[in-house]
Amino acid sequence: MKFGTKAIHAGQEPDPSTGAVMTPIYQTSTYAQKAPGDNQGYEYSRGTNPTRSALEGCLAALENAKFALAFSSGMGATDAVMKLLQPGDEVITGNDLYGGSYRIFTKIFANYGIKFHFLDLSDPEIVAQYTNENTKLVWVETPTNPTMQIVDIEAIGKITRANNLTFVVDNTFASPYLQNPIDLGADIVMHSVTKYIGGHSDLVMGALMLNDEELYKRLWFIYNACGATPGPMDSFLALRGIKTLHLRMKAHCENGKQVAEFLKTHPKVDKIYWPGFTDHPNHEVAKKQMRGFGGMISITLKDADLAETFRIASNFKVFTLAESLGGVESLLNHPATMTHGSIPKEVREKVGVVDSLLRLSVGVEDIEDLLEDLKNALA
């Protein structure tokens, strides 16, 4: 089945009891048993719920995976992956990460004796260089947040397979429409479903997709034991949002390209980060592993201190200044004080997250209105 058909149908059948075309919201915590243990596969909704099962079937299909687990947030999904590890284990990851990922690695899991290496993964060979007998997991984001670096998934997959490491890709920025890391050699795909997959800025949810049954069982145990699982109402909203994922992503890519081209020559813009430009340092890798370049764009402003950056950030009328991304509406974010505020200034500045950096999540409004808004705000 092709992507759009899977987005609309995978995991879902008309409800057998009524024929309802949309998956019902099974708003229940528990399920009747005929005799102890004699049930229809559902016991308690922390572990399993039919609305969530339908969603997980759909999520797995989107990433060409056998299994998916839905979590109550992207961070809940990340937390579950890290709980596969033991004290003394080492993790190799990127130096330009979602702020919350950096925070959970350094402020939570480092306290449990797990060691993290934050490296520039734009050259994949660095993974082999830092691998030792304690290395267990490689965590990659691509495109990275917010400087849109591209990491070669296939090249890193070869190294992780040769060294028996678990390879996880946070695929939130690309969405499954633009990139499928499992097809390129990843073991686990992580998503913040909050973003493109949900697509309407009306829920917080995360997901893991994978093929290995043994690993799935270990993760399901953590998911049920630790309990960061989403409720049926949010599962329903995610299923509803996914039905237009392919349509939205096409529109995000078209608008993203036009916004990127408009900003590239704008006199107020100093640097622009978007993998669709042929002069992006890893454009060829992006072209190889992605089916489009998406609607995420970051810029730095010319001669702008923090006050001037704040002034411009407050000028927008169609773009909304807010955290998050990937919804139908265009959003604008100031990483240094918002999404990446938990990263020390000297650490974030090294990878380009400077005070004058703005990140745009280009939505699916009419392009004329978006360009007009940018023109006025940057004037």
Least distance from ligand PLP to the Cβ atom of residue 334, Å: 15
Angle at the Cα of 193 (from 178 to 316), degrees rounded to 5?
A: 80
Of 6, 52, 98, 223, catalytic:
98
Find the shortest distance in angstroms from Cβ 293 to ligand PLP: 16
Query: Considering only residues 122, 175, 194, 255, which one is a binding residue for ligand PLP as defined by CB under 6 A?
Result: 194
Given the residues 170, 234, 355, 373, select the one marked as catalytic.
170
Binding to ligand PLP, residues 35-94 (CB under 6 A) = 73-75
Rounded-to-integer distance, Cα 172 and Cα 189, Å: 9
Q: Which is nearer to ligand PLP, 131 or 348 (CB)?
A: 348
**Residue holding tokens 């890290």?**
82
Rounded to 5 degrees, what angle do the CA atoms 98, 120, 264 make?
70
Give the phi and the psi of residue 58 in degrees, each rounded to 5: -70, -45
Q: Is 245 helix (H, G, I), strand (E, B) or coil?
A: helix
Active site residue 98: yes
DSSP H or E stretch at residue 207: strand 206-210
Q: Does 195 bind ligand PLP (CB under 6 A)?
A: yes
Q: How many residues bind ligand PLP (CB under 6 A)?
A: 16
Contact segment (CB under 6 A) with ligand PLP among 30-38, 169-177, 208-216, 327-335 equals 169-177
* Smallest separation, CB 194 to ligand PLP (Å): 4
**CA distances from residue 194 to 2, 181, 361 in whole angstroms, order as listed:** 23, 19, 13
Q: Does 135 bind ligand PLP (CB under 6 A)?
A: no
CA dist 332 and 318 (Å) reads 10
User: Residue 136 interacts with ligand PLP (CB under 6 A)?
Assistant: no
Minimal distance, residue 59 CB to ligand PLP, in Å:
14
Catalytic residue check, 161: no
The CB-nearest residue to ligand PLP is: 74
Residue 40 CB, shortest distance to ligand PLP, in Å, is 31
Which residue among the candidates 52, 195, 257, 359 is catalytic per the annotation? 195
327, 319 Cβ separation under 8 angstroms: no
CB of 340 to ligand PLP, least distance (A): 11
Catalytic residue from among 15, 31, 42, 46: 46
Give every strand in the sheet of 135-141, ordered side by side.
67-71, 206-210, 188-192, 166-170, 135-141, 90-94, 115-119
174/44 Cα distance (integer angstroms): 34
Q: How far is CA 203 from CA 76, 237, 243, in A?
A: 14, 7, 15
Q: Nearer to ligand PLP by C-beta: 182 or 377?
A: 182
Smallest CA-to-CA distance from 76 within 233, 194, 186, 223 is with: 223
Give the residue among 263, 268, 336, 352 at the shortest CA–CA distance from 302: 268
Residues 196-235 that bind ligand PLP (CB under 6 A): 204, 206
Please tell me whether residue 300 adopts helix, strand or coil conformation.
Answer: strand
Pick from 145, 147, 201, 255 the residue near ligand PLP by CB under 6 A: 145
Kindly tell me which residue out of 95, 192, 298, 333 binds ligand PLP, with binding defined by CB under 6 A: 192
Instruction: Tell me which residues are annotated as active site.
Output: 46, 98, 170, 195
Which residues contact ligand PLP (rule: CB under 6 A)? Answer: 73-75, 98, 100-101, 141, 145, 170, 172-173, 192, 194-195, 204, 206
